[in-house]
Structure 1
């Protein structure tokens, strides 16, 4: 057996762990790196580029055929027009501008995508919700948000956790006289699940100062032609063979000491490969199903099993059959504050390609592409029967689809009260593994910020 050494004290055959991994990837190519990254979304890509800039060797394992994660961009075959149907924009802050510059992408001041004339409709029966409007958030909400600065870029809670944060959002609004903000808070896009059941903690974590700056002050950037995937195409071109696309981790071991490192057996389109690294950045959704190949121990299982939900899906549809001078938003006719019923389509937004819309779909449980598109089709056909000027004979054609699950998974009030987020933070560096996904924050700029704060610790651990 050939001995492959990385650095001064790290050896592929330093322990029985390596032998176990070789048993699953016997005779395959060995990829020796300082740091392995699982997941090539916003955080995984950001980590890989910045670690490389710090002189560290990296390898990224991504199960899809491209980098970018929740950044989903479709190019119209007739015109080449990019259509973003996942991430729509980036917060205009220094960390985002620096990342744009690093990847040779020109950041341009932007605005929220044009939604045209909004129609608010109960998608369950096609009836219009009349006289509906969304007022801006009040100063009272902003003052309440500023009481909890530890929710802005993570969930680093004090001990004990303020009990008011563990109220449901309707309970919090009632207690603190914020009921006037119900329509504004319930209209937040891309929030999985039923917002009337959300804890106040998660509303403040999601609808944070950054999002308010985007909506109230227009602090938004994107690249010149609006193709948000350009960042990740440029990152892929630079990382080159250090990215394994369409690849999954079959199994691996993570040592308890830095010297033990991490050993992975990965299935790629070119067969199995072995990865041997000093540290692991886990940038995929931190759920047990994704962690299972890494043999999580009881501590990791007990923590990650407490988070639930986060089922969200997106897609693009054409041959819509509805008037194209409108956007269509789902609002309940008889629900609290007209909140949309779940599961169901959250909205249909027009794109720069006439007659082509992107949609977002919210669910309380996991669904297949077939199930999502079937229900979306039924919704469109229902709207065709009730919206004036619609073509009831038009048959929707689905062009693209992506599951964004799990998105912003949550824990119960009792579990939070017992310190689950303290436990999550305690996992950083445990078994040579670092977590940078969307368990603590959602927006891309927030994810880049969280990752940038971890990088010095990851680098230091890789040098032990």
Structure 2
């Protein structure tokens, strides 16, 4: 079944066609983290603006720390079964569904483990580089290598003199589109003088370069009348590659039908934002459905 043309057409085309300028401003904080969002297929813009977000019904951990759910899962598992900071250095994945048809060699900072399994679930952003250790075959690689990504970086910054959350916009471009790379937002937090900076690029950047640019861009607020102090970056994280997407032509050609055919292929199942959305609740639901409806049946 072909994708509806309105979902495949560039977002800027649909915005103009249906006079959706208002919704662009409304979901702008979500779109800002994606490079070239105005020209991407409309389905990706709508995928970012989830129903939970639009209806303000998102669920947050009581402590405000999104990592709490992962800590809870870890406590449920045997400590020896959780390999943090690990890397798959080699893999053998059979197309048969017999027992122990997946073999992985996993390396951590202090040990190397050999793992045998009947099925595996992958949540890694699907790129040839990130999946190198899994020895993708031609079918898998021909799909994974089609994805394009943004580079998104975040930083916790201590800075005085920032009275409001700031979204960086240009006055001379449609919908304030920025020339990337750029600092796209500074989001105030409850703690005094604390903000979270979002920095976006069309291509990966060195951490040192991003850190310097964040500080420089914040200091430029002085030119706009904000008496900001010298920023101090307390924590830094790379969320790259961010927002996997393909061209309208590939979508029309059945890309996602072929991508979904990878589920279960070579005893491997796929989850994550590329297969669902940048929404933890959606990804956890997809994981549950894969396990309950497919993987457990295979295990008998």
Say if 1:272 and 1:307 are closer, same or farther in 2 by CA, change over 3 A.
same
How far does residue 310 in structure 1 lie from its aligned partner after superposition?
Answer: 2.7
**1:408 is the counterpart of 2:246:** no
Is the 1:310–1:410 contact (alpha carbons within 8 Å) kept by the matching residues of 2? Answer: no
Runs of 4+ in 1 over 6 A off after TM superposition: none
Partner of 1:436: 271
Partner of 2:71: 233
Is the 1:345–1:362 contact (alpha carbons within 8 Å) kept by the matching residues of 2? Answer: yes
How far does residue 357 in structure 1 lie from its aligned partner after superposition?
Answer: 1.3
Which deviates the most, 420-429 or 342-351?
342-351
Work out the CA distance in 1 between the residues paired with 2:71 and 2:165.
Answer: 30
Say if 1:435 and 1:249 are closer, same or farther in 2 by CA, change over 3 A.
same
Is the 2:30–2:48 contact (alpha carbons within 8 Å) kept by the matching residues of 1? Answer: no
Say if 1:189 and 1:176 are closer, same or farther in 2 by CA, change over 3 A.
closer
1:64-463 → structure 2 map (5 Å cutoff): 159-188=1-30, 191-214=33-56, 219-239=57-77, 240-259=79-98, 261-318=101-158, 320-321=159-160, 323-388=161-226, 390-391=227-228, 394-440=229-275, 441-456=277-292, 457-463=294-300
Is the 1:286–1:435 contact (alpha carbons within 8 Å) kept by the matching residues of 2? Answer: no
SS of 2:72's partner is helix
Q: TM-score, normalised by structure 1?
A: 0.61
How far does residue 343 in structure 1 lie from its aligned partner after superposition?
Answer: 1.7
Say if 1:453 and 1:339 are closer, same or farther in 2 by CA, change over 3 A.
same
Root-mean-square deviation (Å): 1.8
Specify every segment of 5 or more residues in structure 2 that has no aligned partner in the other structure, as ranges.
none
- Residue deviations 1:313-370, cap 9 Å, x none? 111111x24x243222111121102233322112112222211211111111111211
| Residue correspondences, number | 296
Higher relative contact order (CA 8 A, sep 6+): 1
Which deviates the most, 425-434 or 398-407?
398-407
Work out the CA distance in 1 between the residues paired with 2:86 and 2:202.
Answer: 28
Specify every segment of 5 or more residues in structure 1 that has no aligned partner in the other structure, as ranges.
1-158
How far does residue 180 in structure 1 lie from its aligned partner after superposition?
Answer: 4.0
Q: TM-score, normalised by structure 2?
A: 0.92
Work out the CA distance in 1 between the residues paired with 2:296 and 2:32.
Answer: 34
Say if 1:439 and 1:266 are closer, same or farther in 2 by CA, change over 3 A.
same
How far does residue 449 in structure 1 lie from its aligned partner after superposition?
Answer: 1.6
Work out the CA distance in 2 between the residues paired with 1:173 and 1:327.
Answer: 26
SS of 2:119's partner is strand
How far does residue 375 in structure 1 lie from its aligned partner after superposition?
Answer: 0.8
Say if 1:199 and 1:189 are closer, same or farther in 2 by CA, change over 3 A.
closer
SS of 1:258's partner is coil
Is the 1:286–1:437 contact (alpha carbons within 8 Å) kept by the matching residues of 2? Answer: no
Work out the CA distance in 2 between the residues paired with 1:367 and 1:298.
Answer: 29
- Residue deviations 1:24-54, cap 9 Å, x none? xxxxxxxxxxxxxxxxxxxxxxxxxxxxxxx
Work out the CA distance in 2 between the residues paired with 1:264 and 1:306.
Answer: 25
How far does residue 173 in structure 1 lie from its aligned partner after superposition?
Answer: 1.8
Which deviates the most, 231-240 or 162-171?
231-240
